[in-house]
Amino acid sequence: MENKKKSIGDEGNSNSPLGVGGNSSSPLGVRGNSNSPLGVRGSNMFYGALPIHFELARKLRDNQTEAETFLWNHLSAIQFKNIRFKRQHPILYFIADFYCHRAKLIIEVDGGYHDIPEQYKYDQARESELEELGLKVIRFTNEQVLFDIENTLKEIEKELNRRTPGP
What residues does each domain of the chain span? 47-163
Region 144-157: mean pLDDT is 96
pTM of the predicted protein model? 0.68
**Which pLDDT belongs to residue 29?**
37
**Which pLDDT belongs to residue 92?**
85
* Topology annotation, domain 47-163: Endonuclease; Chain A (3.40.960)
Quick: pLDDT tens for 55-106.
Answer: 777 887 787 899 999 999 999 988 777 899 989 888 888 889 999 999 999 9
Region 109-135: mean pLDDT is 84
For residues 152 and 55, what is the distance between their CA atoms, to the nearest angstrom?
A: 29
Cβ 106 vs Cβ 137: under 8 Å:
yes
Q: Identify the band that residue 9 occupies on the pLDDT scale cut at 50, 70 and 90.
A: very low
**Which pLDDT belongs to residue 114?**
62
* Nearest CA-CA partner of 74 in 134, 160, 164: 160
Region 24-49: mean pLDDT is 47
